[in-house]
Homo-oligomer: A and B are copies of this chain.
Amino acid sequence: MEITYRAIGIIHTPFRDRKKTPYQYFVDNAEGTIEIFPEYEEGLEGIENFDRIIVLFHFHEQREVVLKVKPKISDEIRGVFSTRSPTRPNPIGMSVVKLLERNGRFLKVMNVDMLDGTPLLDIKPWIDTKNI
């Protein structure tokens, strides 16, 4: 079964080189800008009430699937689903970023760990379930 999505925006970050891109969103305080395409802007209403947002994106430079990988932080070979490696069957990335500011269809965020120009798939509010 094929499932087709479309980019709803572009993520602008300081990272142009995969080797210099943080391997996790929480290890770096890098700032970036999420640009939502104009046709989706009204979907952002209320997002400014959240401190953190979940960003789903497409690993657009990923070409191969590798089911057994060596995580950057360990020497142990693991299945790709127990890592955040981009070599997944469906190369969808997920990061939780801090929302610093909204200017219309542009969101200034902190803790980006994706390449500059990454296609955006979705934004969801981050809800800390520990406090519920």
Which chain B residue lies CB-closest to A56? B92
Interface size class of A (residues with CB under 8 A): 35 or more
Q: Given A40-B67, A122-B88 in contact, is the A82-B3 Cβ separation under 8 Å? A: no
Determine whether A123 belongs to the interface, using a CB cutoff of 8 Å to chain B. Answer: yes
Q: Is the interface of A mostly helix, strand, loop or mixed?
A: mixed
| Of listed A2, A58, A67, residue having the most chain B CB within 10 A | A67
A1 touches B119 (CB 8 A): yes
Which residues in A have some Cβ–Cβ distance to B below 8 Å?
1-8, 24, 26, 36, 40, 42-47, 49-50, 53-54, 56, 58, 67-68, 76-84, 88-90, 92, 94, 96, 119, 121-125, 127, 129-130, 132
